[in-house]
């Protein structure tokens, strides 16, 4: 298996000394096909690049998609972080199945935490928010490829090393370090499997931590027995962008359809009467208001329909709604249909 060597003694990557081989391993890393992708290696896929910049572009293009592909074949629970790996799985495990790639794809919440996978490197990069993730990822990739140029041995790239570094992120590290005190020596023996710990990794990468104690407990369970089923709790799920409701500082939630405010229901017995320009009508309405007849009639109607009676009050009268000007005497509206001016 390809060995990658570097100086992992400090948290930050140091400038590479290009063209100055310090060990035989450093010399061999510059030979054709020497730059192997650690992410592909995690899925047992061999991907080598002839130049360091080619590896950098490969990582940027294939390993920062914020999505996963869930195999839809019955009984198959395999999940993949990039489309090419899923296509390889369909070819090798399902006889070249042509199942839709789009149907298998699930968009995830933005990755904001990026951990180095070299065994002796403790580096983890954290973006403060979703908007800064792209810039931080570029710094992270630069750090990864510089490992090929640095002199001292940093060990192999492993999936477990990456998980261990994800657990060193600022929000989790204090509790993770505390757990090491009462599990002396246990952390170094933990080994994680990409297929069974996918939910754990994605929650760490997107900073959807939740209950830190439960998350660390889950990490220990999966690390102790890598074949453990990935299911932990009903609320401990992969952070899917379309359904995520986690209010995390700096995390953007998908826009939701604004709720339509309820239209207040109008009182069916509420209406306005206009006096228009008819002096006789104005005098008549004034007399009815004075005697409280109009308010009493409305109160009686509400009582008949089961509505709560209201204190008798004056009814709002506005001009311009109905015009009774004319020679016709005032009459009550017929009960067989709406009349002009009533609504």
User: Per-residue pLDDT averaged across 103-125, rounded?
Assistant: 95
Rounded to the nearest angstrom, the gap between the alpha carbon of residue 187 and the centroid of all alpha carbons in its chain is 30
Give per-residue pLDDT as tens, 201-226.
Answer: 999 999 999 999 999 999 999 999 87
Give per-residue pLDDT as tens, 223-266.
Answer: 998 776 656 677 788 999 888 877 776 677 765 444 445 555 55
User: Per-residue pLDDT averaged across 64-79, rounded?
Assistant: 92
User: Per-residue pLDDT averaged across 76-103, rounded?
Assistant: 90
The 3-state DSSP class for residue 124 equals strand
pTM, 2 dp: 0.64
Candidates 81, 85, 43; CA nearest to 64 is 81
Q: How far apart are CA 77 and CA 94, in angstroms?
A: 13
Q: How far apart are CA 105 and CA 102, in angstroms?
A: 5
| Phi, psi dihedral angles at 67 (to 5 degrees) | -155, 165
DSSP track, 30-94: TSTT-EE-HHHHHTT---EESSHHHHHHHHHHHS--SEEEE--STT---EESSHHHHHHHHHHHS
């Amino acid at each position: 298996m390809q060995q990658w060597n570097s100086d992992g003694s400090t948290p930050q990557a140091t400038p590479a000394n290009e063209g100055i081989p310090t060990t035989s391993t450093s010399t061999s890393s510059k030979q054709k096909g020497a730059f192997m992708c650690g992410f592909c290696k995690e899925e047992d896929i061999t991907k080598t690049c002839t130049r360091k910049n080619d590896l950098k572009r490969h990582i940027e293009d294939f390993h920062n998609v914020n999505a996963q592909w869930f195999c839809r074949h019955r009984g198959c629970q395999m999940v993949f972080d990039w489309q090419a790996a899923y296509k390889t799985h369909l070819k090798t495990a399902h006889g070249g199945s042509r199942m839709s790639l789009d149907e298998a794809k699930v968009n995830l919440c933005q990755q904001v935490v990026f951990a180095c996978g070299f065994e002796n490197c403790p580096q983890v990069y954290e973006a403060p928010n979703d908007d800064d993730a792209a810039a931080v990822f570029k710094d992270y990739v630069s750090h990864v490829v510089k490992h090929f140029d640095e002199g001292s041995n940093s060990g192999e790239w492993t999936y477990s090393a990456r998980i261990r570094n994800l657990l060193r992120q600022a929000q989790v590290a204090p509790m993770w370090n505390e757990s090491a005190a009462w599990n002396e020596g246990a952390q170094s023996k933990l080994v994680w499997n990409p297929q069974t710990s996918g939910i754990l990794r994605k929650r760490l990468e997107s900073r959807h931590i939740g209950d830190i104690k439960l998350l660390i407990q889950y990490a220990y369970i999966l690390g102790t027995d890598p074949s453990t089923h990935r299911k932990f709790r009903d609320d401990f799920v992969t952070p899917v962008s379309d359904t995520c409701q986690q209010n995390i500082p700096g995390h953007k939630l998908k826009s939701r359809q604004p709720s339509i405010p309820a239209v207040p229901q109008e009182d069916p017995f509420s209406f306005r009467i206009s006096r228009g320009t008819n002096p006789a009508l104005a005098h008549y309405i004034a007399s009815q208001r004075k005697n409280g007849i109009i308010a009493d009639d409305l109160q009686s109607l509400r009582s008949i329909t089961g509505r709560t009676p209201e204190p008798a009050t004056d009814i709002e009268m506005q001009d311009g709604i109905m015009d009774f000007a004319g020679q016709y005497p005032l009459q009550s509206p017929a009960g067989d249909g709406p009349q002009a001016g009533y609504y």
